[in-house]
Amino acid sequence: MKIYVMTDLEGAAMISTWAQTRDVTPEEKMRSEYFLTGEVNACVDGILDFDPDAEVIVCDGHGSGGVDEMLFHPQAKLIAGRGLPPRFGIDESYDALMYVGQHARAGQDSTLCHTQSSASVEYHKINGIELGEFGSFALWAGVLGVPTIFIAGDDVAVAEARELIPEIVGAPVKQSLGRELATHLSHEAACRLIRGKAREACDKRDDIEPFFMPGPYTKEIRLNEGHSLQRYLRPGVEIVDERTVRMTSDDVFELWP
């Protein structure tokens, strides 16, 4: 079995504030990476509990890095560095996609919710459906025939995932109380939950369909007031209004960013 694990930092237990997700101080960054890396390792353990011979590839998907390489699981492999590989390194060879540390999309009243940018983006839509970072990557995997079977994050992120993939196995490690406020499981309890649910997801993977919609794909990006569309302007991009752009392609991967 071959599993791809996408990570982000904002959805891990004990992470509540934007300062915890940025390189404010070395001590703060180290503490945040400890929380996420423990959850990632618990997910890997859950996969290996199901299949001791599984190949697990983890992608550090947080912009400034969220995984502590010195604490990373010895039986997994890590995609880390500057930028991301073409198509995020996922292809048809994977049996499933899992998420750890995931936050909800922009516009939700939940802890550290955003879509790509915590400041500038009001929404992303593909074919009229509002998708956050979870939904976008689940669709990319789905186009390749890879099902998204597991998510760990706050309760709103888990609910968002279930709207798109009702059978997905979720591990809510904190309950959102606001944009920078949550009720958290302890780190140890969160890791126990993730390990058990990751194993459960592996067991149920054949019953979970890939998230898929047929092409062509039209992506609409709307920014918050006061933010420039300049970074999105390239050949083929339509300006809808002063805050919105639209682009269409038969290849969903071409719609990034």
Digit-coded pLDDT (tens) for 76-134: 999 988 777 878 889 999 999 999 999 999 988 899 999 988 788 999 999 999 999 99
Written as six digits, the tokens of 76 are 């997994």
Instruction: Output the CA–CA distances (angstroms, integers) from residue 135 to 23, 26, 78, 189, 191, in the order listed.
Output: 27, 32, 22, 27, 24
Is 42 part of any domain? yes
Confidence of residue 203 (pLDDT cuts 50, 70, 90): very high
190: nearest Cα among 41, 63, 28, 18? 41
The SS3 of residue 174 is strand
Residue 57 within any structural domain of the chain:
yes
Residue 6's CATH number = 3.40.50.10780
Q: What is the pLDDT of residues 51-77, one digit of tens each?
A: 999 999 999 988 788 999 999 999 999
Is there a domain that residue 238 lies in? no
- Which domain range does residue 55 map to? 2-213
Distance in angstroms (rounded) separating the CA atoms of residues 75 and 159? 30
Q: How high is the pLDDT of residue 195? A: 98
Q: What confidence tier does 257 reach under pLDDT thresholds 50, 70, 90? A: low
Asked if residue 234 is part of any domain, the answer here is no
User: Is 41 within the bounds of a domain?
Assistant: yes
Sign of dihedral through CA atoms 173, 177, 183, 187? positive
**Would you say residue 222 lies in a domain?**
no
Let me know if residue 227 belongs to a domain: no
**Chain centre to alpha carbon of residue 197:** 17
Q: What is the mean pLDDT of residues 204-228?
A: 95
Going by C-beta distance under 8 Å and a sequence separation of 6 or more, which residues neighbour residue 206?
none
What mean pLDDT value characterizes the chain?
Answer: 94
Tell me how many domains the chain contains: 1
